[in-house]
Amino acid sequence: MSAPTDAQRMEKIVSLCKRRGFIFQSSEIYGGLNGAWDYGPLGVELKRNLKNYWWRVMVHERDDVVGMDGAILTHPAVLKASGHVEGFSDPMVDCRLTGKRFRADQIPQQSGTIFRYEFAREAAPTDRALEALAHLAETDAEPKFNKTRIASSDALDLAKRIVERRKLSVSLPNADPEAIELFFSHLGDLLRQHPRSQWEEEFASAYSVPQRTICKDAFSVLVRPGESESKAKKTARAFYQKRGLKLPVVVFLPPADEVKKTQEFNPENGAELTSPRPFNLMFKTNVGATEDDSSVAYLRPETAQSIFVQFKNILEVSRKKLPFGIAQIGKAFRNEINPRNFTFRSREFEQMELEYFCRPEQGMELLEYWKEERLKFYENIGISRSKLYVLTVPNQERAFYSKGTYDIEYEFPFGRQELEGVAYRTDYDLSQHQKASGKSLEYFDEETKQKFIPHVVEPSAGVDRTVLALICEAYAEDEAPDEKGKMETRIVLRFHPRIAPIKCAVFPLLKNKEPLVAKAKEIVDLLRPHVYVFYDESGAIGRRYRRQDEIGTPFGVTVDFETLGEKDAALRDTVTLRERDSMKQDRIAIKDLPSILISRIR
């Protein structure tokens, strides 16, 4: 079996997600809403397990962190103070041919030859020239055209009749605008030389260059190595057609320039892009019945701001001392220019954020501490350390107020990408909100009797990105024997039991043997209070195992005739416990199942 490429692997993952009910395109039956995703029955379990584990280690297992759940609708003053209204934007560019929008900084660097076009002129006859052509055709033949019916697509038919009837020595053109222009210009000259009415002169002057439409927009195209030069002209013609010319004759402006590493052209078609301009990523809405500036609110672009805004309230009610943190899991919204890579970059997503407040002198040390804690977290949910990378964000790319930022990245099939940022944000956020609101957000130190604005270290992780990383990490294909012992490909999601959507499947060996079914259902009732179990009696047992392997269920319990004590009384009330990855089966007493499963899942 040859290993699938990264692109094939990603395709298989996306298709499995839909086939088995992890993730669906949002509003799919209406064509889908770009950048929004719905989690199905298994996806929601996986997501909840991830969030619950994060909450457990970040809040419940610590003395120094409390939680909150803030509103999504956010007062504009909050986001003005935080800098989001002014500065939360990405540079955006549009393809000048298709209008498709890109993030300027995500355009790949390309090399090739730039063909510049200065302008284009219309080769199709003007209305007046068409009218003249119709008259010229009518004088020689049965009137076929009248003024109201002349379409420019009829022009060549009319011209053909004139050429044939008058036996003019001019050959009919192919479909190229240049050839058509040459033909009509030549025809005008010939008709002018042998006039029979005023229409010959009329046609020639109506077809002259000054009478025809000109589009003065300049445009350029990048022809990449391996592409033909004619592609540039074709793309330019399409550009001028979009601007209203029917048959554009494009005017090339030499020379064609060689370039390297340009980001000014659409990577999909070579067409020129507009200059970058900022695009604010926040979703704006109106609160209440009036839709004017006074009712504007935003959907929060990060969960962090409500933590800063509630800092004082939470400090007072929790009676925490520095350092301490406030944690939140919730939705955030960004009108991303290019949602992509499945759920990786979405417009609606969830974040798991901790704002860990501290004294200024503790900031750098805590930044290191939280980076290590967060790496441990990913390992504890089954993401191999060898697939995680820590990027130290360089000074020039860090937010101006941050004294240090790490990005924790994961090696996705589509490349190494950020899962989480761990940033030392200094006292920037609290200072901004104190200044803008006029309310003190200072901390009073009982020991030193000093007041100051705490600094903060923020580990900020994406739920959806982590879910995607978990699925990518878990996806595997191996071989397992089928019913007849023949080896076949097995798709298996090797989730850590802690985050697997279903923890244990329970199977009666045969569904038509009432005592087996009754015992299996008893086991379901026994396990249900402890773990999420799934009962399955349909199909051959091997098939049932395969179905559970494909959704990552780590354990399978099978009730067989030994369980009923039919073959050996000593085996009564025992079952086989199958482990997903090794496919090994152990015989276990039913009464021990809850404790064994709990110890392996927690």
Within a 10 A sphere around the Cβ of 41, how many other Cβ atoms? 12
Within a 10 A sphere around the Cβ of 326, how many other Cβ atoms? 26
How many CA atoms are closer than 13 Å to the CA of 63, on its beta-carbon side? 4
Q: How far is the CB of 421 from ligand GAP (least distance, A)?
A: 4
Identity of the residue, 49 or 351, whose beta carbon is nearer to ligand GAP in the bound complex: 351
d(CA 54, CA 56): 5
In whole angstroms, how far apart are CA 345 and each of 298, 350, 417, 599? Answer: 20, 11, 10, 36
The β-bridge partners of 391 are 407
Identity of the residue, 53 or 555, whose beta carbon is nearer to ligand GAP in the bound complex: 53
How many CA atoms are closer than 13 Å to the CA of 257, on its beta-carbon side? 9
Identity of the residue, 155 or 430, whose beta carbon is nearer to ligand GAP in the bound complex: 430
- According to DSSP, the β-strands at 110-122 and 248-252 are antiparallel
Q: How far is the CB of 482 from ligand GAP (least distance, A)?
A: 39
Q: How far is the CB of 420 from ligand GAP (least distance, A)?
A: 5
Q: How far is the CB of 348 from ligand GAP (least distance, A)?
A: 8
Identity of the residue, 346 or 548, whose beta carbon is nearer to ligand GAP in the bound complex: 346
CA 147 to chain CA mean position, Å: 53
Helix/strand/coil for 346: coil
Identity of the residue, 115 or 406, whose beta carbon is nearer to ligand GAP in the bound complex: 406
d(CA 121, CA 246): 10
Task: Please identify the residue of the shown chain whose CB is closest to the bound ligand GAP.
Answer: 462
Identity of the residue, 205 or 338, whose beta carbon is nearer to ligand GAP in the bound complex: 338
Cβ-contact 491, 579 below 8 angstroms: no
Within a 10 A sphere around the Cβ of 265, how many other Cβ atoms? 25
Q: How far is the CB of 40 from ligand GAP (least distance, A)?
A: 18
Q: How far is the CB of 338 from ligand GAP (least distance, A)?
A: 10
Nearest to 407 by CA among 473, 340, 465: 465
d(CA 558, CA 258): 68
Identity of the residue, 306 or 548, whose beta carbon is nearer to ligand GAP in the bound complex: 306
d(CA 244, CA 214): 10
Q: Which residue has the tokens 């076929």?
A: 144
Q: How far is the CB of 299 from ligand GAP (least distance, A)?
A: 13
Q: How far is the CB of 70 from ligand GAP (least distance, A)?
A: 13
Interacting residues toward ligand GAP by CB under 6 A = 302, 304, 334, 336, 345-346, 349, 351, 353, 418-421, 458, 460-462, 464-465
Q: How far is the CB of 343 from ligand GAP (least distance, A)?
A: 7
d(CA 495, CA 551): 9
Taking the alpha carbons of 282, 285, 286, 292 in that order, is the dihedral positive or negative? positive
